[in-house]
Chain A
Amino acid sequence: MIHSLFLVNASGDIFLEKHWKSVVSRSVCDYFFEAQERATEPENVPPVIPTPHHYLISVLRHRIYFVAVIQSEVPPLFVIEFLHRVVDTFQDYFGVCTEAAIKDNVVVVYELLEEMLDNGFPLATESNILKELIKPPTILRTMVNTITGSTNVGEQLPTGQLSVVPWRRTGVKYTNNEAYFDVVEEIDAIIDKSGSTITAEIQGVIDACVKLTGMPDLTLSFMNPRLLDDVSFHPCVRFKRWEAERILSFIPPDGNFRLLSYHVSSQNLVAIPVYVKHNITFREGSSQGRFDLTLGPKQTMGKAVESVLVSSQLPRGVLNANLNPSQGTYTFDPVTKLLSWDVGKINPQKLPSLKGTMSLQAGASKPDENPTINIQFKIQQMAISGLKVNRLDMYGEKYKPFKGIKYMTKAGKFQRCVWIAGSDRYYTNRASLIIVTS
């Protein structure tokens, strides 16, 4: 299946290679570099590239291309999914997945890759199993190992590898037994120029951090499970139980994991938590344009909208912007034409606004490009869909665990059409507004 893996950085250097079968010359990456050159943006490199003897399937994460070399027919998603798992594992082990981190830990990286694939077929991708085979590097362990000569490598077959619950190792022990669940939601919305919602969708995940002794069997139930339209589960969740009772029943992995991702369908009304008022005008023949933007909270159930960050891609014709924010700070980069405004918290009594003028290239005609607005923010203690966890019960173990549930909604893509006044044509503009509620 997967023949070789090359790691390529943003400047086009191969900084790591690993082969699971016969060695494939790194010159195979030339085809990749060609595609990379052709692409205007790093994201535009096609994920699947055919070459005369091989196929290159790549993913781009953290500005590193992970290029897998394939020799024959294989579902491309299989490879892509695996490569993303590799990145996730690196991130899990080293905290970050950067070129420097990979180079610093090249031995661990190699040991991991060796365990993750055998002859190009995934062998162990479950983080629990890998951690028993190869312990993540920590400063303390590195020191101890240097002195005592002990190793990072486990000698026994990981218990999970053979068990019916491969995601959980046996013999887990904690003095404080805790289980935390974060309900994180993202809004995806498109709003037309008059402010009415065209589509709004909520994507949510429940991330868990479970540190419980033994083999706990948990059930998690919701007050309003009908909200969840489409769900995907961690393998630990018993599907039949969900089908029948709408209860999540599972033996959790040890540590951090994503229990569930869900989708709240567009049939349910989605309350958009913020609104934007804007007035961006250019006049024909004038080298000045007016810019006026106001933000306000909407349907937040009294929760504060925080960490608001507005950014906008202004038309290419704009030379500079002279704006006055009522709060926070703004920057305008004349080269990339990116305007970003760090708003902070929205005070409902005094709405934040950004007003002023834009200077245009003298003599240039009125820009007809679309300014793009991205807005990010967080709202604490609120799940925008209204999803509520009813209760969490534990069976199979005797102790009383500490249970914590946190709600949080995260930014999705929010798009808005902007009317440019003073023009006989209107421009439908796309903006992504990213919303985070916690």
Chain B
Amino acid sequence: GQHLNLISHLRNLKEMLESSKESLKLEAMKRIVGLIAKGKNASELFPAVVKNVASKNIELKKLVYVYLVRYAEEQQDLALLSISTFQRALKDPNQFIRASALRVLSSIRVPIIVPIMMLAIKEAAADLSPYVRKTSAHAIQKLFSLDADQKEQLIEVIEKLLKDKSTLVAGSVVMAFEEVCPDRIDLIHKNYRKLCNLLVDVEEWGQVVIISMLTRYARTQFTSPWKEVRGQSGEVMKAFYESDSEEKKGHTEEKPYIMDPDHRLLLRNTKPLLQSRNTAVVMSVAQLYWHLAPKHEVSIVTKSLVRLLRSHREVQYIVLQNIATMSIQRKGMFEPFMKSFYVRSTDATHIKTLKLEILTNLANEANISTILREFQTYVKSQDKAFAAATIQAIGRCATNISEVTDTCLNGLVLLLSNRDETVVAESVVVIKKLLQTQPTQHSEIIKHMAKLFDNITVPMARASILWLIGEYCERVPKIAPDVLRKMAKSFTAEEDIVKLQTVNLAAKLYLTNSKQTKLLTQYILNLGKYDQNYDIRDRTRFIRQLIVPSEKSGALNKYARRILLAPKPAPVLESSFKDRDRFQLGTLSHSLNSKATGYQELSDWPAVAPDQSVRNVEIIEASGSDSEEESSESEKTSSDSGKSSSGSEQSSSESELEQKKKKKTKKVPQKKSKPTAADRYSEIPAVCWSLRVTTSSFGPVKTYELLHHMTGKGLAAKYHFPRQPCLYQPSMVAVQVILSNSSDHSLEEIHIGDRSPASLSIHCFNTIERLEPEASVTVSMGIDFSDSTQAANFQLCTKEDQFSVSIQPAVGELLMPSSMTEQDFCKEQGKLQGMNETSATITMETANASSQAISKQVLSVANVGVVSSSQNNFSRFAGRTVSSGALVLVSLELKESSTALLTINTEKTVMASMLLRDIKQALTQA
């Protein structure tokens, strides 16, 4: 009936989809999505649904996408009908539509369209919108899982996207890298520093992926920082280093360890992320420190990990697992936080067990009494499985810390009179293990257990007692035969393991005390011979041959005593997390304690660091933000080498390089103000935008006067365009104003007052409460000029006065650089022909005709980006207007006899002519 219902329901839906009414179609799609969600099969509606793929209604379209992605794999031929729609949408001017078209196209798992997908991905990877580029990074993985043969081509795209400076793209492309070619470490070299520096600004999910990739990377590229702790106790890697230094005795031995600055950079830039609200990020930083940081620095992650224990149950579970592994090697890290691992009655069982594990790991001579007191509480828990685990834990503490062995043993013996069977049984098992470690003085306990034997019903416990009595039968010569007698009586009713141990006991007694037990033993062996369980029959037969001398029994008989009563090594009670450190912390494999599909091994540190220079990026690529980053790093380096008294060759050459960079930053003072990834927290964040900036703006900064100190009654103001993206609003042009006080009294409450035109949108600087005499202050503001050179007039006010001032932008300042390839440039230029093109022929001095000189001049006038050119006689620059984002393309073709054709293509024709004039002037003057 239900099936028929569904069929008629589907027919209904089909009718609705074929109606001409948009609302009916939408309603139908909503119901279909409902069916999909329930897991019902709605694939037969495919033809009716796919027709709506080009619908104007965006919600309808999205629901069709949902449907398409779900069923395309099953209906490949029909799915192809929709492809052309997406191909069209890939060219849409709206980045959102381009991105979602690529998303759906790449999610349709139809092998035929692989070439189309490949093409779309390549195009999207060069898209101007970082959002579309991000989508293309996602599409790479989809294509790879559809057709692994495309790997080589996809790696090329990944390589290209790795160079992307957008924080939006970084996480996604690293994800693609991890899926497609995690072994191509060489692709990371050049991007390593950039990734480190971008890290704080990447979205949180991307951070996790990047951090885990960089962990792997660092382990292949840097030498171990753990050398310096050599000689400290309990270091796992010690043996490794000893052999290491033996190998290369002579030259490595005296050389102190110096951390590679790049290694330090990674550690430094991940540290703030410990404060992230995202637990996965915190965990990934913690594992990074665990695997990469010098031993004494690892403990900074402790607090953050403990904080995560306040989070959801599932988070606790994973974090506790990782702490359990860490606490085996590094007790000290978590000991101060021991109380955080106290079990609460509301915890789930697996949480309790993990906390118990950690407490046991943390136990030492100093805190054992506290821990044991805590354990006493747990033994009383209503959760019996947990109580049993606690007893096991007590056993472990007892073996690990010899001072408390007796106390523990006595405590456990007390537990033998507990009313709960599981507690008693577990205690017996643990006591058995403990006695084995030091059997000499414990015959009293064995006697006590023999007495309890009648009351204990749990098979494992009974078996343990029997084994104990058998093993130490010579210590309890009177009791042992009696126990055997009792067992002979109840043999048939016992569980298998008890029977096996009874047979063992009988055999051992036969060997030590055959006078009293011969008959009993034979009786038991006879019972065993006809037992239902073949294990017991086998064992009985074996024992009989071994101990009872007969003509058939061979040479073994002589050794029976030595075989059965051989001293047995005590079982080692150790943590179940002991060997988990073979897995990288925080991974699924670590959590499961078995290798998960796709797990990437963390390699051992290389003995000799691979070439460090592979990570060096050509200086021209280091934009303003980069160089500042580096300079701060060089300070770090020097302090580092100060610590280690002698600097190695590499590091000194490194710092030389940095010195150069430093000088470079000094030469270009305006870059100081440029917000960078690292000081995002101290300044206002503005990183995404800088990603579009392809080249740093060379050229001197022109400073304009805003207010002369004479008219301003002591207040002077100058401004310049820092040519950085405005962080307040993308449509604004950033302006930096330097206010200085040349009067003899302090000025108060400097702020911006009325503006004209009134609609002018200005992002004012914060009111300056007080400016002392001779002091000056630099403030940033944002002005939306709406792509016109009309002056922005406003009033600059102090507490007492108001001064009308105006900022008139040069047309070149209304632009921002845009990155594109030569190919794209030509394509875009093709679209902006006719009345959108303005050109002029100019004459230049030959000395200035080099492309470098041209770039310099053009960049001094206009804030555009250089487009790399394959032809020598062409210089190309691309930019967008700040307010409306219209493309502005500048190209300069050098002709013979020092003439050149200057062309500007843009929709903004007024701007074009003004810009043409400015550039022409700049080029001819020079």
A interface vs B, CB < 8 Å? 1, 14-19, 21-23, 26, 40-41, 43-44, 46-48, 50, 55, 57-61, 70-78, 80-84, 106-107, 109-111, 114, 118-119, 121-123, 125, 146, 149, 151-157, 161-166, 170, 190, 198-199, 203, 215, 217, 229-235, 238-244, 251, 258, 261, 263, 266, 313, 316, 365, 368-370, 372, 395-396, 398, 413, 415, 417, 427-428, 430-432
**B876 interface contact, C-beta 8 A:** no
> In the complex, what residues of A have CB within 8 A of residue B685's CB?
164-165, 238
The answer to whether A365 and B419 touch across the interface, beta carbons within 8 angstroms, is yes
The answer to whether B34 and A106 touch across the interface, beta carbons within 8 angstroms, is yes
**B376 interface contact, C-beta 8 A:** yes
Give Cα distance in the complex from A123 to B102, angstroms: 14
A16: contacting residue among B37, B58, B94, B764, CB under 8 A: B37
> In the complex, what residues of B have CB within 8 A of residue A157's CB?
94-96, 99, 131
The answer to whether A162 and B283 touch across the interface, beta carbons within 8 angstroms, is no
Bitwise interface map of B from 60 to 87 toward A, beta carbon under 8 Å scored 1, else 0: 1011011000100100000000000000
Within the complex, the shortest CB–CB distance from B137 to chain A, in Å, comes to 9
> In the complex, what residues of B have CB within 8 A of residue A396's CB?
728, 763, 766
The answer to whether A59 and B314 touch across the interface, beta carbons within 8 angstroms, is yes
Give Cα distance in the complex from A71 to B686, angstroms: 37
The answer to whether A233 and B62 touch across the interface, beta carbons within 8 angstroms, is no
The 5 closest A-B pairs by CB, nearest first: A72-B598, A240-B681, A151-B59, A157-B96, A238-B681
- With contacts A78-B280, A107-B30, A215-B729 known, is A47 near B344, CB below 8 A? no
The answer to whether B377 and A428 touch across the interface, beta carbons within 8 angstroms, is yes
The answer to whether B687 and A164 touch across the interface, beta carbons within 8 angstroms, is yes
The answer to whether B63 and A107 touch across the interface, beta carbons within 8 angstroms, is yes
A-B contact pairs, 12 of them (CB 8 A): A44-B348, A44-B349, A44-B350, A72-B599, A80-B280, A119-B106, A121-B205, A152-B59, A164-B201, A232-B307, A238-B680, A266-B339
The answer to whether A75 and B380 touch across the interface, beta carbons within 8 angstroms, is no
A369: contacting residue among B65, B380, B730, CB under 8 A: B380
The answer to whether A75 and B66 touch across the interface, beta carbons within 8 angstroms, is no
> In the complex, what residues of A have CB within 8 A of residue B62's CB?
111, 114, 153
The answer to whether A18 and B37 touch across the interface, beta carbons within 8 angstroms, is yes
> In the complex, what residues of B have CB within 8 A of residue A190's CB?
339, 342
Within the complex, the shortest CB–CB distance from A250 to chain B, in Å, comes to 10
Bitwise interface map of B from 341 to 381 toward A, beta carbon under 8 Å scored 1, else 0: 01011101110000000000000000000000000110011
Within the complex, the shortest CB–CB distance from A405 to chain B, in Å, comes to 21
Identify which of residues 679-694 in chain B touch chain A, using a CB-to-CB cut-off of 8 Å: 679-682, 684-689
> In the complex, what residues of B have CB within 8 A of residue A261's CB?
277, 307, 310
> In the complex, what residues of B have CB within 8 A of residue A1's CB?
175
Give Cα distance in the complex from A371 to B168, angstroms: 54
> In the complex, what residues of A have CB within 8 A of residue B428's CB?
none
Give Cα distance in the complex from A109 to B34, angstroms: 10
Among the 9-residue stretches B433-441, B562-570, B582-590, the one with 4 or more Cβ atoms under 8 Å from chain A is: B582-590
Among A151, A203, A217, max chain B CB count under 10 A is at A151
Among the 9-residue stretches B138-146, B624-632, B697-705, the one with 4 or more Cβ atoms under 8 Å from chain A is: B138-146
- With contacts A162-B168, A241-B682 known, is A235 near B96, CB below 8 A? no
The answer to whether A118 and B138 touch across the interface, beta carbons within 8 angstroms, is yes
**B596 interface contact, C-beta 8 A:** yes
The answer to whether A73 and B345 touch across the interface, beta carbons within 8 angstroms, is no
The answer to whether B208 and A78 touch across the interface, beta carbons within 8 angstroms, is yes
Within the complex, the shortest CB–CB distance from A240 to chain B, in Å, comes to 3
Give Cα distance in the complex from A241 to B376, angstroms: 47
Give Cα distance in the complex from A73 to B283, angstroms: 16
- With contacts A46-B350, A190-B342, A369-B382 known, is A149 near B175, CB below 8 A? no
Within the complex, the shortest CB–CB distance from B181 to chain A, in Å, comes to 15
B588: contacting residue among A73, A84, A109, CB under 8 A: A73
18 new A-B pairs (CB below 8 Å) besides A78-B205, A106-B33?
A41-B348, A75-B588, A76-B588, A80-B279, A81-B279, A110-B63, A157-B99, A162-B688, A165-B685, A217-B684, A231-B275, A232-B304, A239-B200, A240-B682, A263-B307, A263-B310, A313-B345, A427-B380
Identify the closest chain B residue to A71 (Cβ).
B597
Bitwise interface map of B from 302 to 329 toward A, beta carbon under 8 Å scored 1, else 0: 0110110010111101110000000000
The answer to whether A430 and B688 touch across the interface, beta carbons within 8 angstroms, is no
- With contacts A235-B204, A413-B344, A415-B344 known, is A47 near B314, CB below 8 A? yes
The answer to whether A198 and B339 touch across the interface, beta carbons within 8 angstroms, is yes
Within the complex, the shortest CB–CB distance from B389 to chain A, in Å, comes to 14
The answer to whether B175 and A239 touch across the interface, beta carbons within 8 angstroms, is no
Give Cα distance in the complex from A415 to B33, angstroms: 49
> In the complex, what residues of B have CB within 8 A of residue A122's CB?
203, 205
- With contacts A155-B58, A162-B131, A199-B342 known, is A114 near B66, CB below 8 A? yes
Identify the closest chain A residue to B106 (Cβ).
A119
Chain B at the A interface: SS class: helix
> In the complex, what residues of B have CB within 8 A of residue A83's CB?
314
Within the complex, the shortest CB–CB distance from B670 to chain A, in Å, comes to 20
Give Cα distance in the complex from A58 to B22, angstroms: 39
- With contacts A47-B314, A109-B37, A230-B304 known, is A121 near B763, CB below 8 A? no
B138: contacting residue among A58, A107, A119, A203, CB under 8 A: A119
- With contacts A19-B70, A78-B208, A151-B57 known, is A73 near B682, CB below 8 A? no
The answer to whether B307 and A230 touch across the interface, beta carbons within 8 angstroms, is yes
- With contacts A149-B22, A151-B58, A230-B307 known, is A48 near B592, CB below 8 A? yes
Give Cα distance in the complex from A229 to B337, angstroms: 13
Number of chain B residues close to chain A: CB under 8 A: 112
The answer to whether A73 and B592 touch across the interface, beta carbons within 8 angstroms, is no
**B603 interface contact, C-beta 8 A:** no
> In the complex, what residues of A have CB within 8 A of residue B37's CB?
16-18, 106, 109-110
Among B314, B339, B377, max chain A CB count under 10 A is at B314
Among B30, B34, B37, B73, max chain A CB count under 10 A is at B37
> In the complex, what residues of B have CB within 8 A of residue A368's CB?
380, 419
Within the complex, the shortest CB–CB distance from A211 to chain B, in Å, comes to 19
Give Cα distance in the complex from A70 to B591, angstroms: 14
The answer to whether A73 and B596 touch across the interface, beta carbons within 8 angstroms, is yes
Identify the closest chain A residue to B134 (Cβ).
A123
The answer to whether B70 and A23 touch across the interface, beta carbons within 8 angstroms, is yes
The answer to whether B588 and A118 touch across the interface, beta carbons within 8 angstroms, is no
> In the complex, what residues of B have CB within 8 A of residue A121's CB?
138, 141, 172, 175, 205
The answer to whether B730 and A163 touch across the interface, beta carbons within 8 angstroms, is yes
The answer to whether B317 and A47 touch across the interface, beta carbons within 8 angstroms, is yes
Within the complex, the shortest CB–CB distance from A28 to chain B, in Å, comes to 12
> In the complex, what residues of A have CB within 8 A of residue B66's CB?
110-111, 114
The answer to whether B58 and A84 touch across the interface, beta carbons within 8 angstroms, is no
**B462 interface contact, C-beta 8 A:** no
Within the complex, the shortest CB–CB distance from B834 to chain A, in Å, comes to 30
Identify the closest chain A residue to B348 (Cβ).
A43
The answer to whether B109 and A163 touch across the interface, beta carbons within 8 angstroms, is no
B276: contacting residue among A22, A48, A232, A241, CB under 8 A: A232
Within the complex, the shortest CB–CB distance from A290 to chain B, in Å, comes to 21
Give Cα distance in the complex from A369 to B377, angstroms: 11
Identify which of residues 181-231 in chain B touch chain A, using a CB-to-CB cut-off of 8 Å: 200-201, 203-205, 208, 212
Give Cα distance in the complex from A119 to B175, angstroms: 11
Give Cα distance in the complex from A50 to B205, angstroms: 23
Give Cα distance in the complex from A435 to B131, angstroms: 46
**B284 interface contact, C-beta 8 A:** yes
The answer to whether A70 and B339 touch across the interface, beta carbons within 8 angstroms, is no
Within the complex, the shortest CB–CB distance from A189 to chain B, in Å, comes to 11
Within the complex, the shortest CB–CB distance from B731 to chain A, in Å, comes to 10
Identify the closest chain A residue to B203 (Cβ).
A166
> In the complex, what residues of A have CB within 8 A of residue B348's CB?
41, 43-44
> In the complex, what residues of B have CB within 8 A of residue A151's CB?
26, 57-60
Give Cα distance in the complex from A323 to B612, angstroms: 77
The answer to whether B596 and A55 touch across the interface, beta carbons within 8 angstroms, is yes
Give Cα distance in the complex from A316 to B730, angstroms: 67
Identify the closest chain A residue to B95 (Cβ).
A157
> In the complex, what residues of B have CB within 8 A of residue A203's CB?
310
> In the complex, what residues of B have CB within 8 A of residue A23's CB?
70, 73
